[in-house]
Structures are given as structure tokens and as C-alpha cells.
Amino acid sequence: MACSSLLVAVSLDRTCRWCWRAPKPILLAEAFELVDEALRATDAQGERWSEAELHHVRARLLLARGQFDESEVHLWRSIEISRSQKARAFELRAATSLARLWRDQGKREDANAKPSRSAASAAA
């Protein structure tokens, strides 16, 4: 039985609130399962409105695990989806998270520049 993206998003929101307060492994694992389930539902049902935010949440979960490179990939995916949907609020949110990640990694020039994939590729 396919679940509704909205129900998954509500469950994910509750789980993530707990993860941000006390990132216990069991809660992170549950949150990853919910994100994966929501992304599968998005693909199956063609409901793309939540896709950018789901990638953003997955990036934050990866940050909690210390997986910085993979987190950056999901932040870029969130930015790209947001741009394609002209969802400026989601784009700004993901770009801000990416800039914070770069700042925390000591990549201040990248964090101060306007995020673009070509600029990040050239710097790497």
C-alpha cells in the first residue's frame, strides 16, 4: 500500500524534531527510513512539491552523522529542484544550509559566493 507524501512528511517532521534535540542512532535511522519512504512515494505518485525539502532534510540528517560530502550532494539536489520549480524559499533555505556547511568546513570563499555547481566544481 502506497503511503501519502503528506502523511510521511508529518511523520518525518515529528521524527526530525526529536533528531535535532537528541540525535540518537535509532531516531536517525527512523528518520532516514521516513525520508526514503517519502522520496519513493514522490516518485511513485508524481507529487514533486515536497522533493526539494526532502533532499534538504536528508542533507541535515547526513550532517548529524558527519557525512559532509554526501550532505553537500543532497543540498545541491535540493537547490536544483527548487530552481526548476521556481520555489525561491526552498532554494534560499538549501543555499543557506550549503553556505553554513562550507563555512563550518573552512571554505569561507565558497560560502560567501553565490552557490553554483560550476563554481564548486572549479574549486574542487
Report the CATH number at residue 43: 1.25.40.10
Residue 109 falls within a domain, yes or no?
yes
What is the arithmetic mean of pLDDT over 13-37?
A: 67
Backbone angles phi, psi at 66, to 5 degrees: 85, 15
pLDDT of residue 10: 47
SS (HEC) of the chain: CCCCHHHHHHHHHHHHHHHHHCCCHHHHHHHHHHHHHHHHHHHHHCCCCCHHHHHHHHHHHHHHHCCHHHHHHHHHHHHHHHHHHCCHHHHHHHHHHHHHHHHHCCCHHHHHCCCCHHHHHHHC
Reduced to 3 states, what is the DSSP secondary structure of residue 8? helix
Average pLDDT, the chain: 78
Residue 100 falls within a domain, yes or no?
yes
Number of domains in the chain: 1
pLDDT of residue 77: 96
The 10s digit of each residue's pLDDT in 30-44 is: 889 889 898 998 888
Residue 98 falls within a domain, yes or no?
yes
Residue 69 falls within a domain, yes or no?
yes
Residue 124 falls within a domain, yes or no?
no
Would you give the end-to-end CA distance of the chain in angstroms? 43
Domain range for 13: 5-119
The 10s digit of each residue's pLDDT in 77-105 is: 999 999 999 999 999 999 999 999 999 99
DSSP state of 49: T
Residue 54 falls within a domain, yes or no?
yes
Residue 56 falls within a domain, yes or no?
yes
In one-letter notation, the amino acid at residue 38 is A
Residue 96 falls within a domain, yes or no?
yes
